[in-house]
Amino acid sequence: MNVEGKAYRTIWLAQDGKTVEIIDQTKLPHEFTTVRLSNLEDAARAIRDMLVRGAPLIGATAAYGVCVALEDDASDARIAQVYETLLSTRPTAVNLRWALDDMRARLLALPREQRQRAAYRRAAEICDEDVEICSSIGDHGRDLISGLWEAKDRKGVINLLTHCNAGWLATVDWGTAIAPIYKAHDAGIPVHVWVDETRPRNQGASLTAWELGRHGVPHTVIVDNVGGHLMQHGQVDACIVGTDRTTAGGDVCNKIGTYLKALAADANSVPFYVALPSPTIDWTIEDGLRDIPIEQRDASEVSHITGRTDQGDVATVKLTPDGSPAANYAFDVTPARYVTGLITERGVCAASRDGLEALFPERKTLSA
Ligand SMILES: CSC[C@H]1O[C@H](OP(=O)(O)O)[C@H](O)[C@@H]1O
């Protein structure tokens, strides 16, 4: 997307044709800086420490991580070691495993001397495919938002609530849940976004608000716990969120707090949509609560917060008393029954195996 007049993706091949550059999302919204990934540890750290985050971008970074890791050794053993190192960085977003499985399968099928060039080619394809997929999600989501506006006789504003960051910063470009919002805004549909701050890492307050501000989309940052109140008072026309892993049965794993928003939406008859690219579908599982691993991150993300002082310095301060433990569950699972629809690159479907297989018939399980 456009940042101060320059078009950016979140990850790109550097001029040297070997290393990779990313936007350091831990520095936003107060600093826009980029970081170079030159080796396996750089890539692993970028994912683990959330310089890059968001399921599709994690997958893209892992794909390029394979590239920079094979510099001197493209052996089967090295590929296995790179695979395990990158897979171990974060457990929940299925795009990580999807991208690593894709890269490994393609590379092991080639002679060693062809592998590094093929890796860079495939990583670039994964990034380009993500941009296309997310743009399509945006198109289908825009049409859905347009329908909401028609239902209001094209009067007033469409108020949408989103949680965490599923914007272009969570993908290679466009985003998933925010892509429909960009496209609706650009089409002249009056939208306003309630942006959940999304404790503890504040991806909403720091990233989604930053994105929307740059694109000129009206928005209001809110504390995570106000969404239900807004829905009770008719101030939310729909919720649109992203996902890190959605099961073949339509259960949605997303940033912690998503489930509570879905419950509030259900209780107030507010449509609850999930935007997802097909690589985020885990076709191997049905029951998200049982089978999706939930990442637990360091307690310091709860006990401390980073921001800019009135003097313009970026500082980290402690919020909790010394000696008080903190728990940091990074995701939760929203059962399919609370999801109004899944917005995919092939259209909108019900949050169910039938719904997903109608859009992705190539995945239809062979009838028993
Ligand atoms: C389009 S994936 C966005 C998804 O990823 C975020 O998690 P994290 O920032 O920890 O990577 C959050 O769950 C978003 O909805």
Q: How far is the CA of 232 from the centre of ligand 1 (A)?
A: 26
Nearest 5°: the CA angle 136, 141, 142 is 95
pLDDT interval class at 71 (50, 70, 90): confident
How far is C-alpha 191 from the geometric centre of its chain's CA atoms?
Answer: 21
Give CA–CA dist 206/121, Å, rounded.
Answer: 33
Q: Whose CA is nearest to atom 12 of ligand 1?
A: 255
| Sheet strands (E) in 181-310 | 191-196, 219-222, 238-241, 245-247, 252-255, 272-275, 281-282, 304-308
Nearest CA among 177, 95, 159 for reference residue 341 = 177
pLDDT interval class at 366 (50, 70, 90): low
User: What secondary structure letter does DSSP report for 170?
Assistant: G
Phi, psi of 50 (to 5 degrees): 65, 35
* Mean pLDDT confidence for 318-340: 98
Give CA–CA dist 39/18, Å, rounded.
Answer: 10
What residues contact residue 73 under an 8 Å CB cut-off, 6+ apart?
A: none
> Which conformational region is residue 313 in: left (phi greater than 0), alpha (psi within -120 to 50 degrees), or beta?
beta
pLDDT interval class at 117 (50, 70, 90): very high
Q: How far is the CA of 333 from the centre of ligand 1 (A)?
A: 13
Please answer whether residues 65 and 82 qualify as being in contact, where contact means their C-beta atoms are separated by less than 8 angstroms. Answer: yes
Instruction: Give domain limits for the chain.
Output: 2-129, 136-367
Summarize pLDDT for 267-311 with one digit per residue, the tens. Answer: 999 999 999 999 999 999 999 999 999 999 999 999 999 999 999
Q: Whose CA is nearest to atom 6 of ligand 1?
A: 54
For 2-129, which CATH superfamily applies?
translation initiation factor eif-2b, domain 1 (1.20.120.420)
Tokens of 8: 């950016």
Q: For the chain, give the mean pLDDT.
A: 97
ipTM value > 0.90: yes
Ligand 1 atom nearest 276 alpha carbon? 1
pLDDT interval class at 13 (50, 70, 90): very high
Q: How far is the CA of 200 from the centre of ligand 1 (A)?
A: 13
Give CA–CA dist 143/263, Å, rounded.
Answer: 25
Please answer whether residues 91 and 282 qualify as being in contact, where contact means their C-beta atoms are separated by less than 8 angstroms. Answer: no
Ligand 1 atom nearest 295 alpha carbon? 10
Candidate from 254, 272, 281 with most ligand 1 atoms within 8 A of CB, to mutate: 254
Residues with CB under 6 A from ligand 1: 53-56, 164-166, 170-171, 176, 203, 241-242, 244, 254-255, 330
Q: How far is the CA of 340 from the centre of ligand 1 (A)?
A: 20
Predicted local confidence at residue 364, as pLDDT:
87
Residue numbers belonging to the annotated binding site for substrate = 53-55, 90, 203, 254-255
Q: How far is the CA of 94 from the centre of ligand 1 (A)?
A: 11
Percent of the chain with pLDDT over 90: 96
* Mean pLDDT confidence for 161-187: 98
Q: Which residue has the tokens 């980029």?
A: 34
Q: Give the relative orientation of helices 76-87 and 94-108 as an angle to the nearest 10 degrees.
A: 180
Residue numbers belonging to the annotated binding site = 53-55, 90, 203, 254-255
Query: Is the confidence at residue 368, as pLDDT, over 80?
Result: no
* Mean pLDDT confidence for 24-50: 98
Summarize pLDDT for 207-255 with one digit per residue, the tens. Answer: 999 999 999 999 999 999 999 999 999 999 999 999 999 999 999 999 9
Predicted local confidence at residue 72, as pLDDT:
85
Beta strands 191-196 and 158-162 are parallel
The CATH number of domain 136-367 is 3.40.190.10: no
Please answer whether residues 332 and 307 qualify as being in contact, where contact means their C-beta atoms are separated by less than 8 angstroms. Answer: no
Residues taking part in catalysis:
244
pTM: 0.97
Give CA–CA dist 304/316, Å, rounded.
Answer: 7
Ligand 1 atom nearest 55 alpha carbon? 2
